[in-house]
Amino acid sequence: MTLNTARFKPTARLLACVALGWGCAQAFAQAPSASAPTQAASTQQQTLPEAAPLRRWSPRLKDLGLGGAMRLRGVESWSGVGLGIRRDELVESARLRLTFTLSPALLADLSHLKVLLNDQLVQAIVLPKERLGQPQTVDLDIPPAYFTDYNQLSFQFVGHYTLDCEDPGHSSLWAEISHESTLDLALRPLQGRSDLALLPSPFFDPRDGRIVEVPFVYAAQPSLGQLKAAGSVASWLGMLAAYRGNRFPVYENQLPARHAVVVATNERRPDFLRDMPPVEQPTLSLVPHPDVPGAQLLLVLGKDDQQVQTAASALALGKAALSGQTISVTDLKLPAPRKAYDAPLWLSTQRPVQLGELVERPGDLQLRGTVVNSSISVNARMAPDLFTWNASGVPLNLLYRYTPTTLSDRGSLSVSINDQFVKAYPLQASGGGEGRKSTLLLPLSSDGSEQVQSDLRIPAFLVGGSNRLEFAFDIPPADLGRCRSTQPVVLRAALDPQSSIDLTGFDHYMAMPNLAAFANSGFPFTKFADLSQTSIVLPNQPTPADIQAYLVAVGRMAASTGYAGTRFALLHASQIEQAKDTDILFVSQGDRDGVLAGWRTSLPALVEAGKRSVQPLERGMNAFFELFRMGEDSVPKASDGHITLTGDGPLAALVGLQSPLQAGRSIVALTASDAASMGLIGQSLNNPAKVRLLQGDLGLLRGEAIESFRVRPVYYVGDLAWYKRLWFHLHSHPVWLALLGIAAGLVLTLLVYAALRAMARRRLEGGHA
């Protein structure tokens, strides 16, 4: 069958490509312009796609992972940052605006700073004596040919302060590079082919460190099945995005001018797909954007809601053998349900976890240089509900190696977690042993009690699930004596990949609601990584703002667990009773269906358009009025134990509560007064600085301001032995503890008294006999 795609409008050509399984990229490239007077005049248009505009990207060094100023010390030292270039973009031009300072004690003729990209010299910077010690800014053009997919921008410092008897580790040998230095890139999009084998590109590229933004397109008034399919795809993309964060704009019946995911069934599909032949099986198809050169559309299709969910699950769980432009899913066997706390990114509590499992490459656990004065970082996620009360700490079995020198006994290995110092180990000089094995306990924070009284407490262990271990080596170079020198020795330090963190023996028990656990780790929903114990409830008529907040939330949960959650139940507000035996994520702009109003007695706050109702707080109400700048016409009214405020200011809220449907189950509500404020929720969940501010059971968001409160009493979730639970709860009630002690003493006294009376009675009876 032959079809002349030149007669179709762009959208019609897209439909033809999907229907016939053509190589659409080729069809679009060869389609002549309808306005061309002759075929010969349009020959170039047939073979070359329309040039896409350049994209400008100007990351600072701190955007590329440099936490602070880069400090280079010694006669010769180097460091660098990584930079990824998307596979669908080409560097057209690059310029580095470098801000740096060199030590004023350097010899200008013998000292310089080298800038390299992928070991290719860009420029050696030499300063005259009068400019040393002062901040300098230079612009360096970098040849585009030097760039690859993964790039290393390196800085090598060579410094000398005297012509003879030089100490290679002298304090005057230093250079400092500002983390505000900027790399200006001009990137040209490339025309990619429509091949499912290339997924997740172009929607996600591991080389791109920016937030992952993928629009979702569907028909007006999408069905729950389509929204569930969109959630499964968003969970997959969120898992891939990881630390980058995610943003999923929603479009009804229109195509954005960029890559996008289109979710449709035969009955409900966007207008631009109306003429496409119906599909009979779950289908995935990757086609070119009809209006934007280089952009791609991922079509997730099905005959009905069940089929479109099957197609989305096949994509999210990697069960489809993706290749070609279009595939049909004829059979899908879902994996077994996940067990509690078995998220791939969470440290297991069933066995010790080796540090080698927490890094991408063994080289990430090693350091080298003529002077070793830097650190090894290891990220460790764990379940946020670990019961650490009254525990001495988490055992860290640490194995490390280093190059000994005659002065290395002046060095040390310092261990810290989340920027909190834990312990320092002295190193040994040459001949004193090259390896050490030590066991230490990482300190834990308590739940606010005085059980742990130590400067080594790590509060993030309890309030979050994401931790950063730092192992800082400080190894001074060998001292060869005055006027004695040789080629600098490259020093090495490494952590053994078999070093391990041991969480075995820890129970799971936690006070709820806890918005910190939700914002950091998606808890309690992520207790099961596939979200099999989760119900997500949307309004009966969800708005694009509701859907976008829902997609961002499931994406962030997958980023926490490293697993695409597809087993959650998606319900309308009218179906809320079906969520009785699950944890509930409720997403609604306002309370249009009255669900939250029905839970008023359990809610710390209720936010609606033009009105918000907050339970009286023991503290912070004055700050609340000031923070959200309520007008003079906002009259507080007492109503059912709440303070009701009227006003039209924008406000968003994250609310935690125990489920009124079933005790022990949790509800997290994402709600706002308007659509713009709903967007604040997604922005906050993707911002680590704002995530740290969310705590308690109520978080109020307005612009950049966030306030957290503890309004309602807590309840507890988890499994804990009865005697541990009794002792834990009694410790915060000293009166009851004292009464229990008195009662126990009385019981013991009575028992002893009864025993002594019985002994005396037997003696008397024996004497009479």
DSSP 529-542: TT-TTEEEEE-SS-
Pick 52 or 36 by higher pLDDT.
52
What per-residue confidence (pLDDT) applies to 639? 44
Mean pLDDT of 260-271: 92
**Residue of 609 and 413 predicted with greater confidence:** 413
**DSSP state, residue 703:** T
pLDDT of residue 298: 95
Provide the pLDDT confidence category of residue 15 given band limits of 50, 70 and 90: very low
CA 670 – CA 698 distance, rounded (Å): 10
Helices within 265-337 (DSSP H only): 305-316
CB 263 within 8 A of CB 316: no
- What local confidence, expressed as pLDDT, does residue 101 receive? 95
Residue 577 has pLDDT above 80, yes or no: yes
What local confidence, expressed as pLDDT, does residue 343 receive? Answer: 94
Between 759 and 137, the more confident residue is 137
- Spell out the SS3 assignment of 389-450: CCCCCEEEEEEEEECCCCCHHHCEEEEEECCEEEEEEECCCCCCCCEEEEEEEECCCCCCCC
Write down the pLDDT at residue 504: 85
- Structure tokens given for 401: 């190696």
**Which string of b and e fits 749-760 if b means at least 16 CB within 10 Å?**
eeeeeeeeeeee
The answer, yes or no, to whether residue 462 has pLDDT greater than 80, is: no
**pLDDT bucket at 437, cuts 50 / 70 / 90:** low
What average pLDDT does this structure show over 207-221? 91
pLDDT class for 363, splitting at 50, 70, 90? confident
pTM: 0.81
Positive or negative, the CA dihedral 579, 230, 283, 208 is negative
Mean pLDDT of 660-679: 91
Band of the pLDDT at 728, cuts 50, 70, 90? confident
The more confidently predicted of residues 5 and 188 is: 188
pLDDT, residue 616, reads 52
What is the chain's alpha carbon radius of gyration, rounded to the nearest angstrom?
A: 32
Query: Is a pLDDT exceeding 50 seen at residue 455?
Result: no
Q: Sort 741 into a burial class: Cβ within 10 Å, 0-12 / 13-18 / 19+.
A: exposed
In the block, residue with structure tokens 């764990």 = 382
Return d(Cα 568, Cα 480) in angstroms, integer.
Answer: 66
Q: In the chain, what is the greatest distance between 2 CA atoms, to the nearest angstrom?
A: 135
| 715-727 pLDDT tens trace | 999 988 888 887 7
pLDDT band at 612 (very low <50, low <70, confident <90, very high): low
Residue 614's pLDDT is: 60
Least confident of 111-120, 194-203, 384-393, 643-652: 643-652
Q: Model confidence at 311, in pLDDT bands (50, 70, 90)?
A: very high
**Can you tell me the mean pLDDT for 445-461?**
34
Residues near 561 by Cβ (< 8 Å), separated by ≥ 6? 239, 343, 344, 345, 346, 522, 526, 529
> Is the pLDDT confidence value at 478 over 70?
no
By percentage, how much of the chain surpasses pLDDT 70? 80
Angle at 77 between CA 75 and CA 83, to 5 degrees: 160
Cα–Cα distance for residue pair 654/675, rounded to 1 Å: 15
Instruction: Report pLDDT for 487.
Output: 62
- In whole angstroms, what is the distance from residue 554 CA to residue 538 CA? 13
Give the pLDDT score at 738: 77
381 within 8 A of 450, measured Cβ to Cβ: no
Residue 456 in this model has a pLDDT that exceeds 50:
no
Q: Give the number of other CB atoms < 10 A from CB of residue 136.
A: 16
Spatial distance between the Cα atoms of 403 and 103, rounded to a whole number of angstroms: 28
Overall average pLDDT of the 729-740 stretch: 74
Do the Cβ atoms of 55 and 189 come closer than 8 Å?
yes
Query: Residue 655: its pLDDT value, please?
Result: 93
Mean pLDDT of 60-86: 89
Q: How confident is the model at residue 454 (pLDDT cuts 50, 70, 90)?
A: very low
Q: Does the pLDDT at position 9 exceed 70?
A: no
Predicted confidence band at 768 (pLDDT cuts at 50, 70, 90)?
Answer: low
Q: Is the pLDDT of residue 36 over 80?
A: no
How far apart are alpha carbons 223 and 438 in whole angstroms? 58
What is the per-residue pLDDT across 698-715, written as a single tens digit (0 to 9) for each? 998 888 888 888 888 899
Residue 5 has pLDDT above 50, yes or no: no
